Structure 1
Amino acid sequence: MFRPLSIFVGARYTRAKRRNHFISFISMTSMIGLGLGVLAMIVVLSVMNGFQKEMSSRILGMVPHATILGAKPLDDWQPVAAAAMKNPEVLAAVPFTDMDGMLSYKGYMQPIQVSGVDPAQEGKVSIVADHIVQGSMQDLKPGEFGVVIGDITARRFRLSVGDKLTLIVPELSGEPGGITPRMQRLNVVGVFKVGAELDGSMALIHMADAAQIQHWQPNQVQSVRLKLKDLYMAPQVSKAIAGTLGDGYKADDWTHTQGSLFSAMKMEKTMIGLLLLMIVAVAAFNIIATLIMVVNDKGADIAILRTLGATPRQIMGIFMVQGTVIGVVGTLIGGVLGIIAALNVSAMVGWIERVTGQHIFTSDVYFISNLPSDLQAGDVVMICSAGLILSFLATIYPAWRAAQIEPAYALRYE
């Protein structure tokens, strides 16, 4: 069977037991280091993907994906919702009113974002109904000024269902200051906990109560809230819908309110990926030291091959094959172990917590109580490709040095 000389000899060099055990040890450590670097990158990026997915599902499950607003309060929101539903990217459209204010309770105050919603339809666009820990969303009834607050707000003010607090919202007036505070007494009818910052910055009331606070008609709302198939299409889809409705309508989406958070998370993943790539690079370039020592050890063999007619290109190919085999084996081992670890990292953390009796992630301190992991094929391919490319590049210089050895010089003292 035909087999190129470079591949045949390079593969034999890789399998052969070397006289110099130190070189064998360095080869093994290079392989192990490359595998550990690939494993670490796969696990860490999978965990960061898991965090991003978890935060996306919680935060973007609460805030609007997109909203369609009018120049003034909408008297009839159904036609706007019907026009939005004609877009194939829209899953649901419900009435929505948003306003900023302050919550006051026994002398303590905190800023709050109040959402006026229809309890019967909110489940179509929000996950809040699935995360109610006290009370019920259905207790939001028009005219009763009930409020559903987050768990952080409830713990901060020590509130529970049935307690009353005050909402303070700014109101335009003809007074010299231009703005006067308007106060409204609210009754706590529910507490939600989604495990994110929104537990301390968001509250929900009935849309009719929000209209009354704003001095609107009971059926008027600020906007129509949309739920989309693809979150990242929100700017394009919302602008397209607003454009079909004509002048007087504008679009808003989650990238304006939460975009900086997810941009920061994406940049953090990129930077950590680059730092971990340096570990892979160090392990890959250990192959340089390994191959240089192999070239020095095999000087006589190289000279004999050159004497028998091997070209410098073939000599160079021998050592590139040998270094590449080390890189391929290390990358494959790291990739397989990384995939297994990424798929089971949550279970491993749970086992460590049970054995040690210590909770690594507690819900009192962190927004999550476990270590999420989201293994993505694109990350695995990118990491393994980077390991293979770096290990291949590391073989070029030692192989070139081997090709420059002169047979007469190498055999002088043999």
Structure 2
Amino acid sequence: MKQVLSLWIGWRFYMARQSNRFISFISFASTAGIALGVAVLIIALSAMNGFERELEQRLLGVVPHGELTGVNEPIHQWQNIAQDASLIDGIVAAAPFVRISGLIQKPGGFQGLSVVGIQPDLEAKVSSIAQFMPKQSWQALAQGDKNNIVLGKGLADSLGLAIGDTLSLYTPSMGATKAQRIGAAKSHRFIVAGIFEIGGEMDLGTAYVPMDYAADILGLGDGVSGVRIKVDDVFAAPRLIRDLGYSQQQYMYLSDWTRTQGHLYQDIQLVRAVMYLVLALVIAVACFNIVSTLVMAVRDKQSEIAILLTMGMAKATVMGIFVVQGALNGILGCLIGGALGVLVALNLSSIASSIEQMLSVQLLSADVYFIDFLPSQLVLQDVALVISLALCMSLLSTIYPAWKASRVHPAMALAGR
């Protein structure tokens, strides 16, 4: 009964706050601040979740989880490495590759390009690159004796190339000294057989060719540059690659995604933590407005509080009245902010795209970021966590003003002191 009475009177006090315009304004400011903080925090966390998803599905889906590369000579028995990898629990697949580093000419100078020779049937087990190019382009890489090349969309656009055009790759002559490399550079002619589109820097500096053709260019015979590894748990990649590499007789360079792309994951986690802290403080500041609102409401309602106390109302019930009044601000702010945050988070990518078209700007440049669009992934657990945090802060903000209301002296309040 006491709880129901606190709810009813608290609701009446909340609805009657319009009698004091200043208190009404402070109450509105606290509700708006909580709503804004909740909405922005949900949107920011959704964006961070989107970056993590794209990092895992796009970048880590294409970039190998680990590589074993020959140091002074190519790897001739790569099948043995693949067999050893299959014996290690946690390693999913292995595939050979041949890497050629060279220069391509573009308007204004030259640009470095990493050309990777692959076998499509084996590469599909360690990489999802096939999902980002047409089927015909993927099949063109299976023709080992053809000089086909598949470029990233960003690189093809910058060079003005289309399918069927030719591309020249300049590589240093084998055996040339450092001083002779420029003059002794060899030119290799490729036919653009396809274009893939991942988005971001991967489209600008990487191309794919048939592995046999790449091996012929480098004169590797049946050898390869290295072996790519895919693991089931990306965070276990350093340990698994190390275990595999230490079991080999040949000297090899060992690398994994944490060395090449790990900074991206760390940056995302750092930005997430900073955003969470800053926006949690924004919500906390908005909740302090609830304290101001209730303190002024207690002063404004002292005569009503005194009457209720003289009628025998318990002090706990009086506290409950103002806890309810303050909690209603928090609940309303959480509902508005939660609805707004969820709505924007679900359409964040399209909203960002519309802003880019409207202002003729690019929010994420492929030259800087690993993707060129703003991703978003709404996680219900994040929404629940943010709303719970805001509600807890709102309730904590009501305790002191509600306690002060229960300490009102009826005689002094009714006497106007």
Alpha carbons 2:3, 2:317 under 8 Å: kept: no
For the structure 1 residues 2 and 406, does the alpha-carbon distance in structure 2 shift closer, same or farther, using more than 3 Å as the test? closer
For the structure 1 residues 2 and 311, does the alpha-carbon distance in structure 2 shift closer, same or farther, using more than 3 Å as the test? closer
Match of 1:154 in 2: 156
**Runs of 5+ in structure 2 lacking a partner?**
none
Residues 261-300 of structure 1, C-alpha deviation per residue, up to 9 Å, x if partnerless? 3333333344344444344333322212211121111112
Match of 2:199 in 1: 195
Match of 2:234 in 1: 231
For the structure 1 residues 244 and 405, does the alpha-carbon distance in structure 2 shift closer, same or farther, using more than 3 Å as the test? farther
Alpha carbons 1:105, 1:165 under 8 Å: kept: no
| Matched-pair identity in % | 36
Aligned equivalents of 1:357, 1:73: Cα separation in 2: 49
Residues 307-326 of structure 1 aligned to structure 2 (within 5 Å): 307=310, 315-326=318-329
Match of 2:333 in 1: 330
Which range is displaced more, 10-19 or 153-162?
A: 10-19
Amino acid at match of 1:199: D
What is the TM-score normalised by the length of structure 1?
Answer: 0.81
Q: Does 2:266 match 1:263? A: yes
For the structure 1 residues 202 and 369, does the alpha-carbon distance in structure 2 shift closer, same or farther, using more than 3 Å as the test? closer
For the structure 1 residues 411 and 168, does the alpha-carbon distance in structure 2 shift closer, same or farther, using more than 3 Å as the test? same
Match of 1:93 in 2: 94
Q: Secondary structure at the match of 2:62?
A: coil
Alpha carbons 2:364, 2:371 under 8 Å: kept: no
Match of 1:281 in 2: 284
Q: Secondary structure at the match of 1:83?
A: helix
Residues 80-119 of structure 1 aligned to structure 2 (within 5 Å): 80-87=81-88, 89-104=90-105, 108-119=109-120
**Once the 2 structures are TM-superposed, how far is the Cα of residue 55 of structure 1 from its aligned partner?**
4.8
Alpha carbons 1:101, 1:170 under 8 Å: kept: no
Aligned equivalents of 2:301, 2:384: Cα separation in 1: 35
Alpha carbons 1:105, 1:166 under 8 Å: kept: no
Match of 1:293 among 292, 296, 321: 296
**Runs of 5+ in structure 1 lacking a partner?**
none
Match of 1:376 in 2: 379
Alpha carbons 1:18, 1:24 under 8 Å: kept: yes
For the structure 1 residues 202 and 348, does the alpha-carbon distance in structure 2 shift closer, same or farther, using more than 3 Å as the test? closer
Aligned equivalents of 2:15, 2:109: Cα separation in 1: 74
What is the TM-score normalised by the length of structure 2?
Answer: 0.80
**Once the 2 structures are TM-superposed, how far is the Cα of residue 67 of structure 1 from its aligned partner?**
1.9
**Once the 2 structures are TM-superposed, how far is the Cα of residue 42 of structure 1 from its aligned partner?**
1.5
Q: Secondary structure at the match of 2:199?
A: coil
Residues 144-195 of structure 1, C-alpha deviation per residue, up to 9 Å, x if partnerless? 444322223223333343413122248665x585977652413133332222
Aligned equivalents of 2:300, 2:178: Cα separation in 1: 91
Aligned equivalents of 2:372, 2:204: Cα separation in 1: 18
Aligned equivalents of 1:83, 1:323: Cα separation in 2: 65
Alpha carbons 1:114, 1:204 under 8 Å: kept: yes
**Once the 2 structures are TM-superposed, how far is the Cα of residue 328 of structure 1 from its aligned partner?**
2.5
Q: Secondary structure at the match of 2:64?
A: coil
**Once the 2 structures are TM-superposed, how far is the Cα of residue 143 of structure 1 from its aligned partner?**
5.0
Amino acid at match of 1:158: G
Q: Secondary structure at the match of 1:136?
A: helix
Alpha carbons 1:103, 1:165 under 8 Å: kept: yes
Aligned equivalents of 2:267, 2:181: Cα separation in 1: 35
For the structure 1 residues 69 and 310, does the alpha-carbon distance in structure 2 shift closer, same or farther, using more than 3 Å as the test? farther
In terms of fraction of residues, the more helix-rich structure is: 2
**Once the 2 structures are TM-superposed, how far is the Cα of residue 38 of structure 1 from its aligned partner?**
1.4
What count of residue pairs does the alignment treat as equivalent?
Answer: 409
Match of 1:128 in 2: 129
Q: Does 2:391 match 1:391? A: no
Q: Secondary structure at the match of 2:121?
A: coil
Amino acid at match of 1:379: D
Alpha carbons 1:59, 1:196 under 8 Å: kept: no
Aligned equivalents of 2:52, 2:173: Cα separation in 1: 35
